[in-house]
Structure formats: C-alpha cells, structure tokens
Copies of this chain bind each other. A is one copy, B any other.
Amino acid sequence: MNDGRYIVGVDLGGTSINVGIVPFDGSRVLAMRSSPTGADKGPKHVVDRIITMIREAMRDAAKEASIPDDGFIGIGLGSPGPLDRATGTVIETPNLGWRNFPLRDLVSNAIGLPGELDNDANCATLGEWWAGAAQGIDHVIGVTLGTGIGGGIVFGGRIFHGVSDAAGEIGHMSIDSTGRKCKCGNYGCLEAYASGPAIAARAVEGLLSGEDSLLLSLVDGDISRITAETVYEGIVAGDTFAKEVMRDTAKFLGAGIANLINLLNPEIVVISGGVTRAGDQLLEPLRNEVRRRAFRPAFESCQIVTSELGNRAGVIGAACVFRVVRFGDL
C-alpha cells in the first residue's frame, strides 16, 4: 500500500521524453506523458520541455490522487550518459550532443524538489527489476533499443555503476572491431548496427541496392522517411525484405547479447524499445543466434525477454533511483 509519498520520474531519451508520477511503492505511474525530445533545438529547449512536463504531471496527478503539495518528495531523472551522479551532470552524450551539462540541478531548482540523476538505461533496467519483467531476479541486464542502444546492469537490486558511473554502455561494445564507425568514435559498436537509425540505414542500403520491398510505398516513395518504425510496419504487412532487415538486426543483437552472457552470466536479459514490437520476428532469431554463440551453461541459465513496462520502465526506474539514493536499498 502506498504511504502518500510520490516521486516524479523523468526518462530523457534521444527521441522522446517521458514523465510520470510514481507512488513510493512503485506500484504504478500516474499522469504519464510523452513528448519528442527535440535535441536539435538545443539543451535549453529540452530542459524547458522537461520542466513543463513535470509541472503538468504533478498538477494532473495531484488532482487524480488528491496529492497535497508536500506529497511530492523528489525527482528521479534518467538521461543518456556517461554522467556524474554526484554532481548530477551529463558528461558526454553522442545522441544529444551535450557535454558537462548540469541537468539535475537545472530541473531540480526549477521545480523546487531534490533530484537524483542516473543513466536512462540503468533506470529502465532498475524499473524492470522493481516492477516489471525482472522482479526478484539478482543478475539482470537490460538492453534498450532506441535512437541509441543503452544498457543497464542490476545486481541484487542495485545498479552496477563501475568506478566512475560509466558502466553499462552495452551499445558501445564493438562486435566488429574493423566495422562501421560509431558516433562515439569506436568502430563496429552494437549501436552502429542495431539501434533504430542503424536499422533504418540498413533498410535504406538494401532499397538503394534494388531490393524488392513494400517499404518505399509505406513512405510514399520518399526513402529519406524510412525509420525503424517503417521496417516494423513492413513486417506487419508481410514484407519479406523488412523481415530480413529484422533478422539481421536479431543477428547483430544476438552477437552482442552472447558477449554479455559469456561475460556476465546473467539470469535475465530484458530488451526494450520500439523494435521489440516485432515480437517473435525479433526474439526467435535473436535467441537462436545467442544459442549458437554463447557458452551452453551460461545460455541455459539465461532468459531473454522483452520489457513488461514498456516506456514506463524508465520513469518507474528513475523514481526508484531517487528512492534508493535517498532512502536506502529496497
């Protein structure tokens, strides 16, 4: 049963911002809202957007659940990283183009509530552990597929941060060390093959090389409008080439997840992001690829599942970060 305390959860991603109000027990999300990030309009625009969304969410939740002003105790923020949790600063983020940006304090001061910042994928993974697909599981890895590929490592209900808060950058594990250049400067990163934009880029490459496909008709012949979403729509419409693009995505992801399984021997890998709507078109070839690559005992002890919480995972997890930092482990 919730005790009347509520935490604001903010999930900032390269494509969208999600905000919601989470009761202290993590049981649900109130007044959830989503908005495009608009990173190209600069950091001030993004921060103003977050602040407005928080105010609106607090107002709506207060009405919906009769929360008094002092019922809101703080703000948990998830942001692409690497970042410095102690100062609440985003150090570097290829997908937003920010460097040394004091996100936590800008938001916290504007709203007048204490804040805690953590990596967006860490938050999503912690959210799945607190209230989603990984409840009660001690060795959890989360992989978030979006504009970028994020990763979270949660051991015993605690986010594993490494020595300087930079752990978990699963998207920047190279699976082809002489391969595609990644925004981060490395080569062959998983993100360069299996993120949303990378899926779209592979689809476009195929179309330009003359693949027969419905995809072009889904964007009225304008190839520049092809996104990972278009590929998903193509699969739903039964397009063979779209399915092939998804199978390739599964193979790249499978190589990356096999690496994680050989390295960290988790009990569960939770995959989230829009592309997981492809369901078994993604999961089946993905599991097959991991089986083919990972050590048998490590593969056999690991479930590979999709998110239960969807885009609420980051919001619930960000709220959980605030709770854990201020009130101790769950």
Contact = CB atoms under 8 A, between A and B. Distances in A.
Given A175-B177, A176-B177, A167 B293 contact: no
Interface stretch (A23-31, A48-56, A224-232, A254-262): A254-262
Q: How many copies does the complex hold?
A: 2
A231 B167 CA distance: 35
**Which of A91, A169, A179, A302 has the largest count of B CB atoms less than 10 A from its CB?**
A169
B252 A172 contact: no
Contacts of A300: 164
B174 A175 contact: yes
A184 B258 CA distance: 12
B82 A184 contact: no
Interface in A301-328: 301-302
Nearest to A182: B293
Interface in A242-294: 251-252, 255, 258-260, 262-267, 292-294
A170 interface: yes
Interface residues of A, number: 53
A270 to B, nearest CB: 14
Given A161-B265, A177-B175, A293-B186, A169 B298 contact: yes
A160 B91 CA distance: 28
Interface in A174-204: 174-179, 184-188
A172 B296 contact: no
B177 A252 contact: yes
Contacts of A210: none
B172 A262 contact: yes
A302 B82 CA distance: 15
Nearest to A179: B176
Contacts of A295: 82, 92, 166, 169, 172, 184
A187 B82 contact: no
Contacts of A68: none
A91 B186 CA distance: 35
A263 B168 contact: yes
A250 to B, nearest CB: 12
A265 B175 contact: no
Nearest to A267: B163
29 contacts: A82-B295, A82-B298, A91-B297, A138-B163, A151-B263, A162-B265, A163-B267, A163-B302, A164-B265, A164-B297, A164-B298, A165-B265, A166-B265, A166-B301, A167-B263, A167-B264, A167-B265, A168-B265, A169-B262, A170-B263, A172-B295, A173-B262, A174-B258, A174-B259, A174-B293, A175-B188, A176-B176, A177-B255, A186-B292
Given A164-B298, A174-B259, 4 more contacts: A164-B297, A175-B175, A186-B292, A259-B259
